[in-house]
Amino acid sequence: MQTAEELSQDVLFKVYRKAGELRDAASFCGWLYAIAGNVKVSHWRSLQSRLAGAELEPLTVELSDSLMAEAEPIPRLRFEEWLGELGPGETDLVILRYVEGLSYEELAVALNVPLGTVKWRISEVRKKLSQIMGVRL
């Protein structure tokens, strides 16, 4: 919880500092997501460098025969797991478009790419997700 609060503060501070750079109020959502995305990437990079030196011991769990008998078969992949098979940029694109509801134009601003590129990337990630999920478009 503390990390989320700290990252939120970082985002809001950067928005405050860079508010004068926003030229079009209609593109605020995309601009805000771009700042939040940059803060997220910076956080993950710092976290990865700290975790790189950490060593974890393997966890072993022994289940009794009665627990093994009660265990259900492994369920089919869930949506979160399907998203886990996408690359980081692809996952962000899916979340921003279909969960957060950003328009193509807002995505173009957030990702700092042309509108056509956004449309192409969304088309490609939809194809990839349909293959992962085993669904025909």
Amino acid at 75: P
Radius of gyration of the chain (CA): 20
Per-residue pLDDT tens over the stretch 60-79: 445 455 544 554 443 444 66
| 3 CB-near residues (< 8 Å, 6+ apart) | 43
SS3 content of the chain, % helix, strand, coil (to 5): 70, 0, 30
The answer to whether residue 59 scores a pLDDT higher than 80 is no
Domains delineated in the chain: 1-51 (no CATH), 76-137 (1.10.10.10)
- The percent of residues above 70 in pLDDT, for the chain, comes to 71
Closest listed residue to residue 104, CA positions, set 51, 12, 30: 30
pLDDT of residue 63: 47
pLDDT digits (tens, 9 = 90+) for 118-129: 999 999 999 988
Confidence of residue 54 (pLDDT cuts 50, 70, 90): very low
Contacts of 92 (CB under 8 A, 6+ apart): 37
- pTM tops 0.75: no
Q: Which residue has the higher pLDDT, 59 or 95?
A: 95
In the chain, the percentage of residues whose pLDDT exceeds 90 is 9
pLDDT of residue 122: 92
* Average pLDDT taken over every residue of the chain: 75
Rounded Cα–Cα distance for residues 40 and 32 (Å): 12
